[in-house]
Amino acid sequence: MRRFAVERAKNIVRSYHRSLSSSFSFSSSSAMSSRKSSPVTLENINPKVIKCEYAVRGEIVMHAQRLQQELQAKPGTHPFDEILYCNIGNPQSLGQQPITFFREVLALCDHPAILDSDQTHALFSSDAIARAWQILDQIPGRATGAYSHSQGIKGLRDAIAAGIAARDGFPANADDIFITDGASPGVHMMMQLLLRSEEDGILCPIPQYPLYSASIALHGGTLVPYYLDEATGWGLEISDLKKQLEEARSKGIAVRALVVINPGNPTGQVLAEGNQREIVEFCKEEGLVLLADEVYQENVYVDDKKFNSFKKISRSIGYGEDDITLVSFQSVSKGYYGECGKRGGYMEVTGFCPEVREQIYKVASVNLCSNITGQILASLIMNPPKVGDESFESFSAEKDGILKSLARRAKTLEDAFNSLEGITCNKTEGAMYLFPRLHLPQKAIKAAEAVKTAPDAFYARRLLETTGIVVVPGSGFGQVPGTWHVRCTILPQEDKIPAIVSRLTAFHQSFMDEFRD
Amino acid sequence: MRRFAVERAKNIVRSYHRSLSSSFSFSSSSAMSSRKSSPVTLENINPKVIKCEYAVRGEIVMHAQRLQQELQAKPGTHPFDEILYCNIGNPQSLGQQPITFFREVLALCDHPAILDSDQTHALFSSDAIARAWQILDQIPGRATGAYSHSQGIKGLRDAIAAGIAARDGFPANADDIFITDGASPGVHMMMQLLLRSEEDGILCPIPQYPLYSASIALHGGTLVPYYLDEATGWGLEISDLKKQLEEARSKGIAVRALVVINPGNPTGQVLAEGNQREIVEFCKEEGLVLLADEVYQENVYVDDKKFNSFKKISRSIGYGEDDITLVSFQSVSKGYYGECGKRGGYMEVTGFCPEVREQIYKVASVNLCSNITGQILASLIMNPPKVGDESFESFSAEKDGILKSLARRAKTLEDAFNSLEGITCNKTEGAMYLFPRLHLPQKAIKAAEAVKTAPDAFYARRLLETTGIVVVPGSGFGQVPGTWHVRCTILPQEDKIPAIVSRLTAFHQSFMDEFRD
């Protein structure tokens, strides 16, 4: 069993490197032609940088950008008239509209000079104006252009803590909140804190969001994979967790933390409460930091599942700060707001001893603070309009419209994938992605190997060049060796979905006709 | 000579560690009492994190924040009624007003829905409205809430490149621009790229802005110090550069890059053109990447000096991309705009081979993109209102008012320090800081050693506790061993300056009366 696990781990690493070499083969080859006079070459830069990979914006996306430029320069040069980016969770790039109330408050905080003018009341809702005043009063000198406390403006952290407490039914403390430029910098900070060498490991789900593998690579640690079970809707088996942990420890790796992404990216499952309790118990017993990626907490599309934060689960078991060390990541980029470009988010850090907390603060202080617009937005998503506020009805209509539409799109695309020969696709219970499995014919796999490409990357490239649809090969997320997937977002607007389904269907049929064994 | 240099280098590291241990002595002591159940302790986190130090927000500032809370809770408990933060280049926190045109454009881009309304014309200048439209049209789908290209929105990079070309008189390319959340992330990216181990070194000025020592420590490299000569107005001696380079190489350190901060932080000097040419020649000959911190390019206060970018200097010598590898850092946080909270900036990257450039892009892509508000602001500072624009006159009045006032404050504080017994202070030609030298009596030095504190930290703490004025000890920036300094910003508003001068003068006299040998 163990040897099998090692083999799987090795294979994953290999599959990473395969797609790595495919992504950067041009680089490596042209490295030879590198200008003599340049003191910096691929051979003498930090090898951790070369090892790092981020498929969500990798080779396939760069290729899509080239095709888009060709389409703009010479329309009609390709069998499609637009590129459909289903590679990244970037809702507003595909037409999702921002929440009006949030944008009103941001605009007023950017230019407070207009707050005193009468015309402002004609342009902005009264509760947005009131909220802007409230926020400005929480900022020393109302200076939205000043560096803030390195954890973020105290009044905004109070609002976030109150939002967490209301969500969980357990208290939250503003001193535990670190507001960050999106969730990613918080993840990097934790990896930087925990990883001393490649003898330190982080348990990550496979498939995983490649930020984790990228950050672990950049910080020189070891990714210890555990497998989500596709057959049971990407279930998380504690027995597999235990096995992988023992396996890693037997190889002398000190496992520092467990990453859990709930709702799942790229896998779209929502963890059951009982499963979450097992995970908390496991981290407590094994002395692991629980790194809970909860950025999709607002994105749940099924009635029989609901989001529970790991903090709520821990506290409801009766575990406090002395029992479990927990970091929860949240972002303004996902949910119904999808404000990716604002780069706002926070991590809630609990169960660390004061002297380590001081070190986390010190690292945050080196970067001074996160952007104030993102900080304000992070407080708004955790404290949106309430019943009775002028904006409440329009806000609710915007929010529900987006979430209901995402649920419809998820179902339509899921059915479309499942209707295709040799493709099986689990339900998208939450998040923003489908992760269909491609049961590819041997002939297709051989064709891919012939061009030194992972079979799923081969499929994704063909799909792009034939239809303009951009998906990310499963090899960029990790998958059980010998299985192949793609990640496809549910984010194209509903009027685009029929075209996507028909193009995808037509492409897949001809692909199978070409490669069917 | 060499042994002396090594000694100096060692002393600097020691002085770092001294103030480090003083900053975090509480931590280390209380580490013993660390909760058993916590899996994370000072003993098992990444030692690079512990080694990293950032004095600008270090122990003295945390102490100031405690005093401020005490003042709010119990007014009258201290011999002053407010804390005067002269520790950090954070203009708007001290009352500097933002540039109206910039904020108008940001507000309109945050809430484009109001662009079509008539009332908007009553609230916003017409050129701000036009600029907002122009910027929105450069953003695919006008989606200011979408992740952008990982280098930043192409149209904004075009504007930045045009601004650089107009500034330098030499062409600039949008593909060379990486827009970042302030300048710091760009510096971190370069350290991450260049530093493979502690055998890799970066030549840094001493005194230096501690972001560099912090980033080098976090990325596990070695800081190779070169000394600015206080006696010649913080001149940069190529002979000392050469000596330190050879010294480092003789110890087996591969020196990858040279950091130059111009105008200087914390030292406030503006480099002479001839000196810059020597630096370019030196980097070319020695195969060093030139990391040019040019974030204070708008902050020059003397008539006989002007800012020249290192790119302009290189190109005017006739050196192109094949001759010199150069990175220039710029930020929206400094200049006359001082928009620290917006976290905008860029690095212009030239002279790297394509395959290394691809690696830089890959690392940028892991963090998706910098915040769009900061991106827009970065384009605005490089393309402000022009003659004939509706806002030009008010814009110019705001800009000149801020810069002239900064020049007056610099002169007043410089004279004040120079009038004090045993203090000498070089001219602030540029940037936002004074770095006076404290010729401390032996008795004061012994008193500091008795409490295990660096003498300048001892002085700064006394100053804070007596007057509420917060300055940063020179040991946080590095200084020739046996010399002691503090860094004091020129940013308090002019109505505060007289009080600062009188409090400072009274404090210093009593300090000397207490410790004079």
**How high is the pLDDT of residue B37?**
59
Find chain B residues with C-beta within 8 A of A111's C-beta.
103-104, 106-107
How far is the CA of B309 from the CAs of B152, B270, B280, B292, B324, in angstroms?
22, 11, 11, 8, 14
Spatial contact of A463 and A507, defined as CB atoms under 8 Å apart: yes
Alpha-carbon dihedral sign for residues A134, A139, A145, A148? negative
Q: Which domains does chain A have, with CATH numbers?
A: 48-95+396-515 (3.90.1150.10), 126-382 (3.40.640.10)
Contact across the interface for B365 and A54, Cβ inside 8 Å: yes
Residue B59: pLDDT band (50, 70, 90) is confident
**What's the full length of chain B, in residues?**
517
How far is the CA of B365 from the CAs of A52, A214, B151, in angstroms?
11, 11, 8
**What's the full length of chain A, in residues?**
517
* Helices (H) then strands (E): counts for chain B: 18, 15
The Cα–Cα gap between A54 and B362 comes to 7
**How high is the pLDDT of residue A32?**
38
- Both tokens assigned to B71: 């003042």
Instruction: Say if residue A280's pLDDT is above 90.
Output: yes
Interface test with B, best of A151, A200, A356, A391 (most B CBs within 10 A): A356
Segment A364-422, tens digit of pLDDT: 999 899 999 999 999 999 999 999 999 999 999 999 999 999 999 999 999 999 999 99
Q: Which of residues 262-301 of A touch B (CB under 8 A)?
A: 287-289
Alpha helix ranges (H) inside A219-327: 238-250, 273-286, 310-317
Helix (H, G, I), strand (E, B) or coil at B440: coil
The Cα–Cα gap between A84 and A68 comes to 10
Q: Which of residues 325-364 of B touch A (CB under 8 A)?
A: 325, 333, 338-343, 351-356, 358-359, 362-363
Q: Which of residues 370-429 of A touch B (CB under 8 A)?
A: 370-374
How far is the CA of B403 from the CAs of B184, B290, B302, B430, in angstroms?
24, 28, 11, 10
**How high is the pLDDT of residue B32?**
38
How far is the CA of A407 from the CAs of A335, A420, B181, in angstroms?
12, 21, 34
Per-residue DSSP letter, A300: B
pTM assigned to the model: 0.92
The predicted model gives B13-23 an average pLDDT of 35
Number of other CB atoms surrounding residue B300 within 10 Å: 17
The Cα–Cα gap between B213 and B197 comes to 15
Instruction: Say if residue B38's pLDDT is above 90.
Output: no
Helices B2-31 and B238-250 pack at an angle, to 10 degrees, of 70
Segment A79-125, tens digit of pLDDT: 999 999 999 999 999 999 999 999 999 999 999 999 989 899 999 99
Select the residue of A49, A288, A358 nearest B359 (Cβ to Cβ): A49
Pairing assessment for the beta strands B469-470 and B484-489 based on DSSP bridges: unpaired
Say what the ipTM of the complex is.
Answer: 0.91
- Both tokens assigned to B122: 């009553």
Which of A266-275, B29-38, B340-349 is least confident? Answer: B29-38
The Cα–Cα gap between B456 and B440 comes to 9
Contact across the interface for B363 and A52, Cβ inside 8 Å: yes
Alpha helix ranges (H) inside A149-272: 154-168, 184-194, 211-218, 238-250
- Both tokens assigned to B478: 């590095």
- The mean pLDDT value of chain A amounts to 91
The predicted model gives A1-25 an average pLDDT of 37
Instruction: Say if residue B158's pLDDT is above 70.
Output: yes
Percent of chain A with pLDDT over 90: 88
The Cα–Cα gap between B199 and B195 comes to 8
Letter string b/e over residues B22-47, b meaning 16 or more CB atoms within 10 A of that residue's CB: bbbeebeeebeebeeebbbebeebbe
Segment A43-92, tens digit of pLDDT: 999 999 999 987 777 789 889 999 999 999 999 999 999 999 999 999 99
**How high is the pLDDT of residue A37?**
59
The Cα–Cα gap between B461 and B59 comes to 9
Select the residue of A88, A95, A147 nearest B341 (Cβ to Cβ): A147
* Helices (H) then strands (E): counts for chain A: 18, 15
Select the residue of A24, A92, A211 nearest B146 (Cβ to Cβ): A92
Per-residue DSSP letter, B300: B
Q: Which of residues 212-231 of B touch A (CB under 8 A)?
A: 214-215, 218-219
Number of other CB atoms surrounding residue A314 within 10 Å: 28
**How high is the pLDDT of residue A38?**
81
Helix (H, G, I), strand (E, B) or coil at B386: coil
Give the per-residue SS3 of B80-129: CCCCEECCCCCHHHHCCCCCHHHHHHHHHHHCHHHHHCHHHHHHCCHHHH
B68 at A interface, C-beta within 8 A: no
On the 0-12 / 13-18 / 19+ scale of CB atoms within 10 A, B507 is buried
Contact across the interface for B366 and A333, Cβ inside 8 Å: no
Main-chain dihedrals φ then ψ at residue B320, nearest 5 degrees:
-105, -165
Per-residue DSSP letter, B141: G
Q: Which residue carries 């034939």 as its tokens?
A: A466
Main-chain dihedrals φ then ψ at residue A446, nearest 5 degrees:
-65, -40
Q: Which residues, 6 or more positions from A192, have their beta carbon under 8 angstroms from its beta carbon?
A: A219, A363, B46, B48, B49, B218
The predicted model gives A205-234 an average pLDDT of 95
- CA–chain centroid gap for A475, Å, is 16
Residue B55: pLDDT band (50, 70, 90) is confident
**How high is the pLDDT of residue B18?**
35
Give the distance from residue A283's alpha carbon to the nearest chain B alpha carbon, in angstroms.
10
Spatial contact of A174 and A158, defined as CB atoms under 8 Å apart: yes
Q: Which one has a higher pLDDT value, A18 or B187?
A: B187
**How high is the pLDDT of residue B13?**
37
**C-alpha Rg value of chain A to the nearest Å:** 23
Give the per-residue SS3 of A392-456: HHHHHHHHHHHHHHHHHHHHHHHHHHHCCCCEECCCCCECCEECCEECCCHHHHHHHHHCCCCHH
Q: Which residue carries 């308090």 as its tokens?
A: B492
Q: Which of residues 481-500 of B touch A (CB under 8 A)?
A: none
Helices A372-381 and A126-138 pack at an angle, to 10 degrees, of 120
Segment A486-499, tens digit of pLDDT: 999 999 999 999 99
Q: Which residues, 6 or more positions from A154, have their beta carbon under 8 angstroms from its beta carbon?
A: A138, A174
Q: Which one has a higher pLDDT value, B215 or A6?
A: B215
The predicted model gives A188-201 an average pLDDT of 97
**How high is the pLDDT of residue A5?**
39
A318 at B interface, C-beta within 8 A: no
Find chain A residues with C-beta within 8 A of B195's C-beta.
46
The Cα–Cα gap between B384 and B163 comes to 9
Q: DSSP states of B396-423 as a string?
A: HHHHHHHHHHHHHHHHHHHHHHHTSTTE
The Cα–Cα gap between A477 and A87 comes to 12
The Cα–Cα gap between A354 and B352 comes to 43
